[in-house]
Amino acid sequence: MDFQRRDVVITGGTGGLGTAVVDALLNAGAICHVPYIEESEAERFPHRNHPQVRLMRDIDLLREEVVAKLYESVPKLWASVHLAGGFAMAPLADTKRAALLQQVELNLVTSFLCCREAVRSMTRTGAGGRIVNVAARPALEWRTGAGMTAYTASKAAVAALTVALAQEVAKDGILVNAVAPSIIDTPANRRSMPDADHAAWPKADEIARTIAFLASPDNKVTRGAIVPVYGRV
């Protein structure tokens, strides 16, 4: 995959999966624009001093004007990868309206606003581009979302957004897809599920390679896909 001189926005790029995605894109030659809010995110980000990384502070992805300025600052956007989001584990009977709306905002609204500004930017250049969202296994297999219904509903909405938008912008050479992870092998997930078969979980760098392909010029035909990245779970 060749991303030489191609600008890519990666939201959530300072997180566990985000770091792996940025690493894969840097190795392919991309210029990575990574928004964040807290300074501690940048301090622990291993690629913060890389010459092809552009860290962008105080980017609240729920504020329309902030997201618009973020994408306006990237001169020739090629790809936009949306990893930012949130998770909440709770049965429906214990989920308040505020908790539901929080999941919708963190997962659907951030993806929607970033997709919108990415499409506007790519349309201005006329060169097409790639968009990759992150759904989740419960977005495809609803019954697996029992006990986390607010999260499941918000991620199912991300999947629907992805497929509808893919059809809408295909004529402009913009290919939109999403990945749907199961339980990603991270230190936090291992701590919360110490007795699970961790070897079966997909690794962040494995998922990152799938995302990198979907965002790459090598992907010439795949659009509207919600790609399962389940590992052996």
Dihedral sign of CA atoms 169, 71, 85, 217 in order: positive
151 part of the active site:
yes
Q: From the candidates 36, 71, 151, 230, give the one annotated as an active-site residue.
A: 151
Which residues form the catalytic set? 151
